[in-house]
Amino acid sequence: MFDIAWSTIKNRKGGFIAAFIAVICGSAVITACGVLFMSGVLSGVAPERYAGATVMVGGQQSKEVKENFDPHFAERATVPASLADKVARVDGVKKVVGDHTVEMALQKDDGSARGAPVELDHPLYGHGWSSTALGPFELAEGNRPGSAGETVLDAGLARKAGLKVGDTARLSVGTTAHAYRIVGLVDAPNGLDRQSAAFFTDSRAAELSQRPDRLTAIGVLGEDGADGLADKVKEAVAGSGGVVYTGDDVGDLEFLDIGESRGFLIPLSASFGGTALAVVIFVVSSTLGLVIHQRRRELAMLRAIAATPRQVHRLIGSEVLLVGVTGAVLGAAPGFLVAGLLRDAFAGVGVLPEDFELSFNPLPAVAAVLLTVLGARLAGFIAAFRIAKIQPVEALSESQVEKDELGKGRKATGVGLILLGLVAAIVLPLVIPGELAVAGAGGALVVLMVGSALIGPILVRAATRLMTPLLKRSRVSGFLASANSAANARRLSSAVVPLALGAAMALMQLSMLNTVETTAKEQAATGVVSDYVLTSDTTGLSTDLAEKVRAVDGVETATPVARSQAMLTYIEIDKPNTKPFSAQGLDPRGLDRTLDLDVREGSLDQLRGDTVALSWIAADTARLKVGDTADMNLGDGVSKKLKVVAVYGNGLGFGDVTLPHDMLTAHTANQQDAALLVSTAGGGAQQRVGAELDKLAAATPGLTVQNPEEFGAVQQGQFAQQSWTNLIANALLMLYVLIAVVNTLVMATTGRSREFAMLRLIGTSKRQTRRMMFMESWIVVVTAIVVGVAIAIPPAVGSALGLTGQPIPHVQPLAWGGVVLFVALLGWLSISLPTRSALRGRPIDAVYAGE
Amino acid sequence: MRLDNVTKTYGKGDNAVTALRGISLEVPRGTFTAVMGPSGSGKSTFLHCVAGLDRPTTGHVHLGDTELSGLKEAALTAIRRERIGYVFQAYNLMSALTVKQNVTLVARLADMAVDEAWLREVLARVGMSEHVGRRPNQLSGGQQQRVAIARALVTRPDALLADEPTGALDTRTSQEVLGLFRQIVDEMGQTVLMVTHDPVAASYADAVLFLADGQLAGQLNRPTPAQVAERMTHLGNW
């Protein structure tokens, strides 16, 4: 069977090249997803400060979720300081070091109280001197810090900042700065590539961390020849919440962003890979469908003389297998490049660390080849199904002209799917709001797409009928175009479907992005009702700043806003699910003067102790009402049962979870505020307070005074990042659909060269033929755009309902116009260019060429 | 080859179209029979029923000892492969395959060994020995039809059925193809049943059966083209 298949492929290069290109691109996309997935699983960064430790003990940094990816905690999970003593008693341990890590900023003395900030490429962390044993760091110059006012810098940092032993360095935690005398410089054994370090006396480091009772990590140095130390330590820390790290994993403990990248990459690449595979099957089967359509006569003849349906399947299957395997193998190599591009794009947006390295190994390529070939085989089966099933006589007669009517089953399925899609898109968000509804609305797009693909020919015919009066104005070309389209609705529909799919995906994505961004912006703009907003351009605001500001004359309310992330665990349908939400910590005192969260139920006054307020999206997602108990994990993973005291509307602008301020900050690494909202007593107080705040800012490192409007813009950044991530992932799919569109249209047009030749021989001019095709391309483009817009709207409305509670998606006319224009241009070019090329030769040659 | 009271109705109820109304006849082994009739007389349906491509609504079709009307699709496919050779008006060949590959296609699909000597003889008889490596688009219409006949013959079928085999050919090429049919009946003892509307083509046959409105409307033995044409003119009023 393979030799027949091979001859067929060689003989019908044009048709198969389209499927071939589709498979190559599909394989590349799936390989790229595989590489990202593997990188999420495998890649890591070598430890720097902990490089010399035998074993490290740190906190549990992710939540274990059954049958799903374990979500990572946003903040560092710390361990109790008392655990260090327990570890020290383990047999074979030479030394135990408790490490306090404090994020800091460096200013140089410029005579002002604020100091001149030193821009560093990497974060700067302060530690206790004893932790140098874990590097081990070598003292390059000077001495160890002997008192609270002394520090030792890593040599690289000192060089960068232009500081030397004997100088004074101003190091700040949040907005609190201290001057330290530099008494020495240290070198790390392998250098510090991802961080800078400053060392203090152990007691000073503990003090700076504000949590002397908690440790970032515990380092263990083993005695020479001590075997199985890791297991023994594991035994010792069992039940305490401590996790033992050895070897390459130590890098994950030292650099939380690596673990976070994994938590980001693994679910993203898995879901994206799955979608890509579905699109590959869809595109390849529609491309193959066209090839098979073009040779149905031949296949009908085969059935009539001798072939069983199974043999027709086998023949087409063999062709697909040849095309599939070759294409999949060829596509795998560029897939690694695509993965690299995606990495760069994600790093550019900031969701991956700049130095995140992909781990390249052949496994993703092997998996992609297998999946793509399987997908193509399935696509071939779908495409061959009809031609193989029908009776040979039917095949013979049917092959002459297109069968007019679609099968009843097909029509019913198509209409059924469209109805189902509408229900999923619009009714679902009304019945079960929350995140599930938004996801459902997205999925509805695919259902709607498949449904319209099934009844595509009917849609094309309807569109043709509507456009015929317009077309008839041109007596020759228009007449031919409308007759062709009406008679070959099926062929036209296979060109319309991918074009509509591309348009719908793009429009739906744009609308969701836009709705989220616009709503968040609106909420942030209307929600901040204070007169001033204080923020920091370093790590954050120290929590004591609020008291300082409250003491300023004329200040009525100062509301500190801390930010972090919190996880909500709830029963979704029938099994527990855990989802991270952005969280803010608020002090409810005088809140109505500074922040309007649009409280719908309950009251934020109650927000103290073990309580929480939720946005309505979060509340609906977890099915919680005021008075219920929420099962939450705070930023560092600590589990809490919190009573819901309020449900509010402005979740997109401010975060979906609002916790009492002190509870939230206690479970963040920096224990700082993101902003301080300041309202004044009114009257002349506003100017006076403004001047006072400016004075404060001049004396405080990193502090900036903003208007509430400017603060809104800051909020934007976080949403933009998430939206960009989606856009990058989907852009790749869009590109793939695009290739499929061009493929299909070019192939459909090229397949008609004999018809063009015949038209020319009976006296149609080249110009008339071109005009005819131009009009046909309009039928294709207009139908595709109408269908695309029509099926993009219900999911857009549904997701708007789910996200904002309003059924009106935000539409950027310019962006939608751009998409429509692009689709039109693409469809038109893919038809008109091959038409030109098909018309180039002598018509008489084309008529006698081949079948 | 024998048909007993075969009827064929398409569709149901008011839309029902009856293509064959109670046809009974026998085609003797080793003869060349032509079936003629105006358009819509049911001659294609008749041929499809004989070939097992279509099932009669009532009645029986026998090929030798085998009753076709009761067989399942897979068994019918096997019959078509092994015992019937079929030549269409056009599009007989797979454009991707060479002449030789096309001729041996059925054997390949049936997973049978190809009798090389017989293959050479068949190709020689249809006069295509020189062109075994060519592809259909390098052949003339007459040559393509001869390849199709070779493919139909190579399995040594009980009967060779041809549906308007000269419909797409010019007069001269038609004569060559019809002569070839005559030759394989006379020299190889092959049974040939041909549907045509061309009186000249029909005159090559031993017997001509006339179909009109789904019924047998007479028979001519050893006819001349003029006799056939004469009969056809009257069929319209029959």
Is the sign of the CA dihedral B6, B8, B13, B14 positive or negative?
negative
A4 touches B: beta carbon within 8 Å: yes
- Work out the minimum CA distance from A396 to partner chain B, whole angstroms: 10
A851 touches B: beta carbon within 8 Å: yes
Q: Which stretches of chain A score pLDDT less than 70? A: 1, 14, 391, 394-405, 433-434, 712-723, 842-851
In A, minimum Cα distance to B98 occurs at A7
Question: Is ipTM strictly over 0.90?
Answer: no
Which pLDDT score is estimated for A154?
A: 93
Which pLDDT score is estimated for A568?
A: 92
Q: Which residues of B touch A850 (CB under 8 A)?
A: 95, 137
Answer yes or no: are the C-beta atoms of A382 and A285 closer than 8 Å.
yes
Give me the residues of A, 153-192, that contact B with CB < 8 A: none
Which pLDDT score is estimated for A460?
A: 84
A11 touches B: beta carbon within 8 Å: yes
A468 exposure class (CB count in 10 Å sphere: 0-12, 13-18, 19+): middle
Say whether A215 sits in a helix, a strand or coil.
Answer: strand
Whether residue B137 is predicted with pLDDT greater than 60 in this model: the reply is yes
Say whether A169 sits in a helix, a strand or coil.
Answer: strand
In B, minimum Cα distance to A848 occurs at B137
Note whether A308 contacts B80, CB cutoff 8 Å: no
d(CA B180, CA B210): 23
A405 touches B: beta carbon within 8 Å: no
| Identity of the residue numbered B81 | R
Which pLDDT score is estimated for B237?
A: 45
> For the domain B2-91+157-235, what is the CATH code?
3.40.50.300
A304 touches B: beta carbon within 8 Å: yes
Nearest CA-CA partner of A465 in A446, A489, A429, A498: A489
Nearest CA-CA partner of B17 in B37, B41, B38, B36: B41
Q: Which residues of B touch A390 (CB under 8 A)?
A: none
Note whether B77 contacts A851, CB cutoff 8 Å: no
Longest distance between any two alpha carbons in chain A, whole Å: 101
pLDDT digits (tens, 9 = 90+) for A559-603: 999 988 899 999 877 788 888 888 999 999 888 889 999 999 999
Between B92, B95, B109, which is nearest A850 by CB? B95
A318 touches B: beta carbon within 8 Å: no
- Work out the minimum CA distance from A418 to partner chain B, whole angstroms: 31
In A, minimum Cα distance to B109 occurs at A307
- Work out the minimum CA distance from A315 to partner chain B, whole angstroms: 10
- Work out the minimum CA distance from A309 to partner chain B, whole angstroms: 9
Which pLDDT score is estimated for A308?
A: 80
Q: Which residues of B touch A311 (CB under 8 A)?
A: 109
Note whether B96 contacts A10, CB cutoff 8 Å: yes
Between B54, B96, B151, which is nearest A393 by CB? B54
Phi, psi of A16 (to 5 degrees): -75, -25
Whether residue B238 is predicted with pLDDT greater than 50 in this model: the reply is no
Note whether A302 contacts B101, CB cutoff 8 Å: no
B135 touches A: beta carbon within 8 Å: yes
In B, minimum Cα distance to A8 occurs at B96
- The residue extents of the domains of chain B are 2-91+157-235
Answer yes or no: are the C-beta atoms of A561 and A676 closer than 8 Å.
yes
- Work out the minimum CA distance from B62 to partner chain A, whole angstroms: 19
In A, minimum Cα distance to B84 occurs at A305
In A, minimum Cα distance to B135 occurs at A850
Nearest CA-CA partner of A88 in A207, A246, A223: A223
d(CA A820, CA A782): 9
Answer yes or no: are the C-beta atoms of A316 and A391 closer than 8 Å.
no
d(CA B232, CA B210): 8
Q: Which residues of B touch A13 (CB under 8 A)?
A: none
Write down the mean pLDDT value for chain A: 85
A140 exposure class (CB count in 10 Å sphere: 0-12, 13-18, 19+): middle
d(CA B80, CA B90): 18
Size of interface A-B (CB pairs under 8 A): 69
Per-residue HEC secondary structure of chain B comes to CEEEEEEEEECCHHHCEEEEEEEEEECCCCCEEEEECCCCCCHHHHHHHHHCCCCCCEEEEEECCEECCCCCHHHHHHHHHHCEEEECCCCCCCCCCCHHHHHCHHHHHCCCCCCHHHHHHHHHHCCCHHHCCCCHHHCCHHHHHHHHHHHHHCCCCCEEEEECCCCCCCHHHHHHHHHHHHHHHHHHCCEEEEEECCHHHHCCCCEEEEEECCEEEEEEECCCHHHHHHHHHHHCCC
Q: What is the model's pTM?
A: 0.74
A307 touches B: beta carbon within 8 Å: yes
Note whether B86 contacts A304, CB cutoff 8 Å: yes
Note whether A4 contacts B108, CB cutoff 8 Å: yes
